[in-house]
Amino acid sequence: MEKGTLFPMLFCTLSSECIGILRYIYWMWWILWRTINIASLVAALERSIRHYFHFGKNNLVGTRKNRSVDLKLERLELDLSRARTAIRLASRSNKNASAPADDKYVPQGAIYRNARAFHRSYLEMERLFKVYVYEEGEPPLFHDGPCKSIYSTEGRFIYNMEMETRFRTRDPEEAHVHFLPFSVTYMVKYLYQTRTFDISPIRRTVIDYKLGADHFMLSCHDWGPEASASISHLYHNSIRVLCNANTSEGFNPLKDASLPEINLRTGSIEGFIGGLSASQRPIIAFFAGGLHGPIRPLLLDHWKGRDNDVRVYEYLPRGISYYDMMKNSKFCLCPSGYECVPVIISEGYILPFSDVLDWKSFSVEVPISEIRNLKKILMEITPGQYLKHFVISTPPKRFDVYHMILHSIWLRRLNIRIHPKH
């Protein structure tokens, strides 16, 4: 054998004998490599599919849901825009709005700022307005309130709203406004500790709500403004319907609504309204009430026990009926529902339903500085026609106090535009 031929011969021998084994090993290695990569590919694909169904699908559903919510909101805003246009056109028209065939009442007269605009607005409210009532919370702090007391307006509205079928919706996405059904009066009764001056438990009860410009609260208690003052979104953004509607305490007439205070002692108004016509009532003016605030002391100082025509008492003598005194007086020196003309002695107080009603046409505003001349001012006023939207009805009737409160909230909602978040 020649030098240098061993390795080639060995290579040729190995090649011929082991070629099949080498080829087999190669193919097995290639198949194994492919299998591992395919398995990885399948695993990756499976993970992607799972990711889609876990995240991507949810995101897709969420996106579709968000689009659905946005579309509903856009439809709500479009309906409100059309209502604004209809009200604006009615305010400029010389014709009354076309009322339903069975409509027995059409607003007209000097007591309204614009009777046609109010009528069209009221009809649009009846056609469109939907209120969502939060279901969270338990009585007596939520879904309940006083129906017999000086705070009866608060409890009766909550009760009527809970029983509502026409304006209430169970779908929050269909609602123009969302009602927070808590009673400040009952919070004071059940949460407040006497003489502690600590109302933080009341604030904590309200603070968990999501509060936007389309949310509203309602309170007839004096602490209504205070209970909401420390909750920024409620105070600055939401609609607050308050009996204590004083601008000096943060009441904003552009977004808040004034609530009439009605002292309903028996739960019924039977026997407490009516009486003689204004011209036949023997008493010019009447007031009875304890010292409260800066104005009453001045009124009592000038008129308490000094004139039989202007009856002013701090406390009524025994045997004299408060209701009979109201029904026999031409003017009442306090807001009332007893068919005597209210005499407003206040500064900075926003009167109920003043968006619609021209209070100057059926009430008298006397500056604090003119209290001493009260009798002279009232004697110079001749009896006039005035219409009240302050009657409590069970069940509620069109244009009564419950529906006028709703209309005030409706007007505030018309004043804002809510844009989709997505």
Strand order in the sheet with 364-365: 310-313, 283-288, 329-332, 341-344, 364-365
Same domain for 223 and 294, yes or no, is no
pLDDT for residue 336: 33
Same domain for 188 and 158, yes or no, is yes
Same domain for 311 and 205, yes or no, is no
Whole-angstrom distance between the N-terminal and C-terminal Cα of the chain?
89
Same domain for 313 and 352, yes or no, is yes
Q: Give the residue from 329, 342, 335, 322 showing the smallest Cα distance to 280.
A: 329
Q: Does residue 24 sit within a domain?
A: no
Same domain for 308 and 245, yes or no, is no
Q: Does residue 391 sit within a domain?
A: no
Q: Does residue 343 sit within a domain?
A: yes
Gap between the Cα atoms of 422 and 417, Å rounded:
15
Q: Does residue 29 sit within a domain?
A: no
* 3-class secondary-structure state, position 107: coil
Domain count, the chain: 2
Same domain for 259 and 346, yes or no, is no
pLDDT for residue 352: 84
Same domain for 155 and 257, yes or no, is yes
Expressed as residue numbers, the domain containing 310 is 278-379
Residues of the chain with pLDDT under 50: 1-14, 37-62, 207-208, 335-339, 384-388
Beta bridge partners of 311: 286
| pTM over 0.85, yes/no | no
Tokens of 202: 């009341």
Residue type at 123? L
* 3-class secondary-structure state, position 300: helix
pLDDT for residue 338: 42
pLDDT digits (tens, 9 = 90+) for 225-278: 888 887 888 889 999 999 988 888 899 999 999 998 887 777 666 656 667 777
Same domain for 250 and 282, yes or no, is no
